[in-house]
Amino acid sequence: DIQMTQSPSSLSASVGDRVTITCRASQGITNYLAWYQQKSGKVPQLLIYDASTLQPGVPSRFSGSGSGTDFTLTISSLHPEDVATYYCQKYNSDPFTFGPGTKVNIK
């Protein structure tokens, strides 16, 4: 099975900072990658699919890039409401594995 890793596992940044999270697949998954945001006590929410397509309603400060094995989620200017854990998920084939998550806090 393809393994998903994320880095860093956690980060602290200031409001307005540019934040980048990396997701890596152990084998190529073309662009079949989604990003989700999960705030404390809440249900995960889809941010990005197909590696770079923004889900309707998601703020434009979120963007995704990458293909093959290496992907990034970027928050261009961190807002206080972006405090959350971010997960990537592969969906090229079964099993549809999630990454371990990156926790984002405000410094």
- Which parts of this chain interact with other proteins (CB under 8 A)? 1, 32, 34, 36, 38, 43-46, 49-50, 55, 85, 87, 89, 91-92, 94-101
- Closer of 68 and 101 to other proteins (Cβ): 101
CB of 71 to other proteins, least distance (A): 13
| 32 contact partners, CB below 8 Å, separation of at least 6 | 50, 51, 90, 91, 92
- Closer of 68 and 100 to other proteins (Cβ): 100
Helix or strand (DSSP H, E) at 84: strand 84-90
- Closer of 17 and 31 to other proteins (Cβ): 31
CB of 94 to other proteins, least distance (A): 4
CB of 77 to other proteins, least distance (A): 25
Q: In what order do the strands lie in the sheet with 45-49?
A: 10-13, 102-106, 84-90, 33-38, 45-49, 53-54
DSSP 85: E
